[in-house]
């Protein structure tokens, strides 16, 4: 695992971004003129009530969706104008995903799940094997690589999911409620692991959460309400903006 | 590309649905291969019947052997034409033959049908491909004996080994069973030429003359000579061409068979499409995850198409395997040129099995394409939220 290579500018740059959904004649604005910068090596929590737009913002930053207006630049790529295929290639190279429900492929073993994003890289089988083993070592599940998801506990599944997220050594890790489906002990394990990824491996992390305890692991917490940024707490610098 | 094991294991996890769909596809492939095997069997019988070196001489205007007749004096002249091969004992390889129809009941009580009854010179045996007696013995001339094949003996009353049938109230006894390489000769009953014409009270009558002429130049000369002879009023047809013409009797069967196979295939496509639609809707979140981690739409499309193909090819293999125990089984149908029974053996060779697998492939591709398109049209963010 290497340190990020975006020292010259922010990893995430969100400029005047709006996101609207149209249903019949109704226009629903989910994000209003959002502006945001995230430096390399940052760990940011996105908080807010349901429907506040935090998951939408996360999806835009992760290149899963495109804004209705404004610009988003992540890891040097302008995502607002990129095509679906460009976004797919970009995600494979730069983003690791952690989901609330782990989203492991049930018919693949832990090893094969972690290997999945690596099959999109030019690495050969031997190189992929080394990467998978490193990733599973980091999450402490090297001895479970042949297990299928149904043979693992929720916490273990989430750790496999984290191994999958870091296998390609991405710059950015996005996590959508990573502890939302876990008990307290497992949540702590996962959050400790994420903190380690951020501090020891320099990964930039954006995490959506409802849980203040999870948010406390982040260096910075953004509060959203009705699609607007209402608070930005920089824990590292003990500074509250807005 | 998404690893194929993802699809194989997904099919295995839903084993009951996979098995049922494969069985449905297998039944369609089985029925189609059975029909194709039957057509191939009939065509094989007619194809095997023609020898490159053989010529059939018949009356001008006759469209089958039964409507032909050749004057005995002319027949004698034909037998001695320059270029006709000679057998080991020095006699010409030319067979004078008289063909008539035997109306005979089937063994299973399914009514009566026409069977070709052929009276021929002894040398006629040598003109048929790989003729051999497999049970009993060959006929002796002058004592009203007959030989036929196992397929005919099993299918018709009075034609089993040791049984007797009547021709114009004259009794003929079956004394032997023969094989002739699956050719159309295996659909006939043979007896001695003179015995048959005597029983029919057409003494000396000849329907056709079969000639073996090994040299191409000689063959051409004989064709030209017979055609050009106003007195003969005969035509010479290369045997291969003659039986090729009879293949027209399979056209109707072929059209119906392909139509039925086509309709069944369309039906099976719905079965595979239905299964794949179910697969796509139950795996929305997996599709969303695969897209999120960077698999492009075409990889998802290919993956689901491949899964559909594997499902259908599995059915195809089951269907083809199901037909193998029937390979070589004999059946019968009516030759629409001679209006008589033609027996055939089902032939499930590589070409026929390939046709069956092609149908399965078509079911997989066409049945899988719409569900695969649905999979790639899912919005990633919506797909990730699915249960």
Stronger pLDDT, B301 or B226, i.e. the higher one: B301
Answer yes or no: are the C-beta atoms of A158 and A165 closer than 8 Å.
Answer: no
CATH number of the domain where residue A106 is located = 3.40.50.300
**Chain A residues touching B297 at Cβ < 8 A:** 84-85, 88
How many Cβ atoms sit within 10 Å of the Cβ of residue B244? 16
Span of B141-155, B227-241, B303-317 with lowest mean pLDDT? B227-241
Domain stops at, among B152, B187, B213: B213
Which pair of tokens denotes residue B250? 């399979």
pLDDT value at A185 more than 90: yes
Note whether A121 contacts B: Cβ–Cβ < 8 A: no
Q: What is the mean pLDDT of residues B4-11?
A: 93
pLDDT at A239: 52
CA distances from B356 to B36, B321, B348 (A): 8, 11, 10
Domain stops at, among B186, B213, B240: B213
Residue B347 carries which DSSP code?
Answer: -
Q: Are residues B124 and B64 in the same domain?
A: yes
Cα separation, A74 vs A96, in Å, equals 13
Q: Is the dihedral of CA A52, A57, A59, A64 positive or negative?
A: positive
pLDDT at A240: 52
Q: Nearest by CB to A97, which of B3, B292, B381?
A: B292
**In chain A, how long is the greatest CA-to-CA distance?**
54
Domain stops at, among B162, B195, B213: B213
DSSP tally for chain A: helices H, then strands E: 7, 11
Q: What is the mean pLDDT of residues B122-128?
A: 86
**Chain B residues touching A101 at Cβ < 8 A:** 285
Cα separation, B375 vs B291, in Å, equals 10
pLDDT tens digits for range A94-125: 999 999 999 999 999 999 999 999 999 999 99
Answer yes or no: are the C-beta atoms of B147 and B174 closer than 8 Å.
Answer: yes
Q: What percent of chain B has pLDDT over 70?
A: 97
Q: Which residues of B touch A (CB under 8 A)?
A: 1-3, 5-6, 9-10, 12-13, 285-286, 288-297, 380-381, 384
Query: Cβ A103–B285 below 8 Å, yes or no?
Result: yes
**CB interface of A with B, residues 132-191, below 8 Å:** 164
- Chain A nearest C-alpha distance from B354 (Å): 32
Q: Are residues B340 and B289 in the same domain?
A: yes
pLDDT at A242: 44
Q: Is residue B239 part of a domain?
A: no
Q: What's the total number of domains in chain A?
A: 1
Q: Which residue of B has its CA nearest to A62?
A: B292
pLDDT value at A231 more than 90: no
pLDDT at B223: 85
Q: Nearest by CB to A92, which of B1, B294, B384?
A: B294
List the domain range (segments joined by +) for residue B313: 4-47+248-385
Nearest alpha carbon to residue A230 among A242, A212, A218: A242
Q: Are residues B76 and B202 in the same domain?
A: yes
CA atoms within 13 A on the CB side of A196: 15
pLDDT value at A1 more than 60: no
For residue B52, count CB atoms less than 10 angstroms from its CB and return exposed for 0-12, middle for 13-18, buried for 19 or more: exposed
Query: Cβ A91–B293 below 8 Å, yes or no?
Result: yes
Q: What's the total number of domains in chain B?
A: 2
Q: Are residues B199 and B104 in the same domain?
A: yes
pLDDT at B327: 80
Give chain B's mean pLDDT. Answer: 88
Strands B208-212 and B94-105: antiparallel
Judged by DSSP in three states, B130 sits in: coil
At residue B336 the predicted structure's pLDDT band, cuts being 50, 70 and 90, is: low
Q: Is residue B204 part of a domain?
A: yes
Mutation site, A105, A108, A169, interface B, largest B CB count within 10 A: A105
Q: Nearest by CB to A107, which of B9, B290, B381?
A: B9
Looking up tokens 């824990």 gives: A235
For residue B235, count CB atoms less than 10 angstroms from its CB and return exposed for 0-12, middle for 13-18, buried for 19 or more: middle
Cα separation, A102 vs A80, in Å, equals 27
List the domain range (segments joined by +) for residue A33: 12-241
Query: Cβ B6–A62 below 8 Å, yes or no?
Result: no
Q: Is residue B165 part of a domain?
A: yes
Q: Are residues B119 and B208 in the same domain?
A: yes
Cα separation, A55 vs A180, in Å, equals 13
At residue A4 the predicted structure's pLDDT band, cuts being 50, 70 and 90, is: very low
For residue B223, count CB atoms less than 10 angstroms from its CB and return exposed for 0-12, middle for 13-18, buried for 19 or more: middle
Q: What is the mean pLDDT of residues A174-187?
A: 93
Q: Is residue B233 part of a domain?
A: no
- Chain A nearest C-alpha distance from B358 (Å): 29
Q: Are residues B88 and B25 in the same domain?
A: no
Q: Are residues B39 and B66 in the same domain?
A: no
pLDDT at B341: 73
**Chain A residues touching B291 at Cβ < 8 A:** 88
pLDDT at B67: 85
Q: Is residue B195 part of a domain?
A: yes
Q: Are residues B167 and B255 in the same domain?
A: no
pLDDT at A3: 44
Mutation site, B293, B310, B381, B383, interface A, largest A CB count within 10 A: B293
Judged by DSSP in three states, A114 sits in: helix
Alpha-carbon torsion, ordered A34, A38, A44, A49, to 10 deg: 0
Q: What is the pTM of this model?
A: 0.77
Cα separation, B354 vs B301, in Å, equals 26
Note whether A64 contacts B: Cβ–Cβ < 8 A: yes
Note whether A84 contacts B: Cβ–Cβ < 8 A: yes
Inter-chain contacts counted by CB atoms under 8 A, chains A and B: 68
Span of A3-7, B138-142, B189-193, B263-267 with lowest mean pLDDT? A3-7
pLDDT tens digits for range B198-240: 998 888 899 999 999 988 888 888 888 888 887 778 888 888 8
pLDDT at B29: 93
One-character DSSP codes across B158-224: T-STT-EEEETTEEEEEEEEEE-TT-GGGGEEEEEHHHHHHHTT-TT-BSEEEEE---HHHHHHHHH
pLDDT tens digits for range A8-56: 679 999 999 999 998 888 999 999 999 999 999 999 999 999 989 999 9
How many Cβ atoms sit within 10 Å of the Cβ of residue A122? 6
Query: Cβ B296–A164 below 8 Å, yes or no?
Result: no
Stronger pLDDT, B228 or B297, i.e. the higher one: B297
pLDDT value at A5 more than 80: no
Note whether A235 contacts B: Cβ–Cβ < 8 A: no
**Chain B residues touching A84 at Cβ < 8 A:** 296-297
pLDDT value at B1 more than 60: yes
Query: Cβ A91–B10 below 8 Å, yes or no?
Result: no
Give chain A's mean pLDDT. Answer: 91
Nearest alpha carbon to residue B384 among A74, A161, A44, A203: A161
Q: Nearest by CB to B291, which of A88, A99, A106?
A: A88
Does an H or E element contain A166, and which?
A: helix A154-166
Q: Are residues B74 and B10 in the same domain?
A: no
Radius of gyration of chain B (CA): 29
- Chain B nearest C-alpha distance from A215 (Å): 22
Cα separation, B10 vs B3, in Å, equals 12
How many Cβ atoms sit within 10 Å of the Cβ of residue B205? 19
Q: Are residues B42 and B68 in the same domain?
A: no
Nearest alpha carbon to residue A38 among A242, A193, A236, A195: A236
Cα separation, B215 vs B223, in Å, equals 12
pLDDT tens digits for range B73-94: 888 888 888 888 888 888 899 9
């Amino acid at each position: 695992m290497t340190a990020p290579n975006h020292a010259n500018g922010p990893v995430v740059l969100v400029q005047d971004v709006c996101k609207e959904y149209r249903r019949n004649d109704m226009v629903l604005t989910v994000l209003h003129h959002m502006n945001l910068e995230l430096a390399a090596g940052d760990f940011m929590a996105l908080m807010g009530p349901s429907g506040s737009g935090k998951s939408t913002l996360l999806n835009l930053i992760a290149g899963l969706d495109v804004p209705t207006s404004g610009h988003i630049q992540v890891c040097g790529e302008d995502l607002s104008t990129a095509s679906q295929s460009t976004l797919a290639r970009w995600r494979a190279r730069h983003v690791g995903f952690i989901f609330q429900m782990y989203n492991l492929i049930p018919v693949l073993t832990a090893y094969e799940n972690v290997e999945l994003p690596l099959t999109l890289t030019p690495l050969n089988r031997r190189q992929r094997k080394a990467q998978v083993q490193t990733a599973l070592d980091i999450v402490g599940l090297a001895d479970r690589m042949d297990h299928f998801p149904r043979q693992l506990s929720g916490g273990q599944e989430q750790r496999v999911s984290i191994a999958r997220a870091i296998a390609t050594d991405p710059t950015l890790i996005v996590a959508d409620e990573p502890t939302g489906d876990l008990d307290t002990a497992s949540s702590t394990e996962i959050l400790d692991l994420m903190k380690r990824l951020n501090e020891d491996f320099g990964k930039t992390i954006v995490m959506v959460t409802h849980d203040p305890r999870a948010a406390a692991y982040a260096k910075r917490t953004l509060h959203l309400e009705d699609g607007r940024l209402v608070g930005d707490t920089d824990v590292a610098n003990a500074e509250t903006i807005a | 590309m998404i690893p194929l094991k993802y699809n194989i294991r997904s099919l295995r996890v839903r084993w009951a649905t996979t098995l049922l769909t494969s069985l449905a596809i297998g039944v369609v492939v089985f029925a189609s291969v059975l029909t194709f095997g039957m057509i191939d069997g009939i065509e094989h019988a007619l194809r095997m019947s023609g020898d490159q070196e053989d010529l059939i001489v018949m009356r001008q205007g006759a469209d089958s052997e039964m409507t032909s007749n050749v004057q005995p004096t002319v027949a004698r002249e034909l037998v001695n034409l320059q270029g006709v091969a000679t057998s080991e004992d020095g006699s010409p390889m030319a067979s004078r033959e008289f063909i008539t129809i035997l109306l005979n009941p089937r063994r299973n009580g399914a009514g009566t049908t026409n069977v070709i009854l052929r009276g021929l010179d002894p040398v006629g045996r040598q003109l048929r491909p790989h003729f051999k007696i497999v049970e009993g013995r060959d006929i002796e001339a002058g004592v009203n004996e007959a030989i036929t094949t196992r397929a005919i003996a099993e299918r018709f009353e009075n034609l089993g080994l040791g049984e007797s049938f009547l021709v114009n109230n004259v009794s003929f006894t079956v004394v032997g069973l023969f094989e002739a390489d699956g050719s159309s000769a295996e659909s006939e009953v043979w007896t001695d030429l003179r015995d048959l014409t005597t029983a029919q009270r057409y003494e000396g009558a000849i329907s056709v003359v079969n000639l073996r002429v090994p040299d191409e130049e000689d063959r051409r000369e004989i064709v030209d000579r017979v055609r050009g002879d106003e007195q003969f009023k005969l035509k010479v047809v290369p045997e291969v061409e003659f039986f090729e013409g009879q293949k027209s009797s399979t056209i109707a069967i072929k059209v119906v068979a392909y139509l039925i196979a086509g309709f069944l295939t369309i039906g099976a496509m719905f079965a595979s499409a239905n299964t794949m639609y179910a697969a796509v809707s139950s795996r929305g979140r997996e599709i969303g995850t695969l897209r999120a981690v960077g698999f492009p739409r075409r990889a998802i499309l290919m993956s689901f198409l491949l899964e559909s193909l594997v499902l259908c090819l599995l059915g195809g293999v089951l269907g083809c395997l199901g037909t193998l125990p029937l390979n070589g089984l004999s059946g019968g149908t009516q030759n629409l040129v001679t209006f008589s029974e033609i027996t055939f053996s089902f032939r499930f060779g590589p070409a026929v099995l390939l046709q069956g697998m092609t149908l399965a492939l078509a079911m997989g591709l066409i049945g899988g394409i719409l569900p695969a398109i649905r999979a790639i049209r899912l919005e990633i963010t919506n797909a990730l939220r699915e249960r």
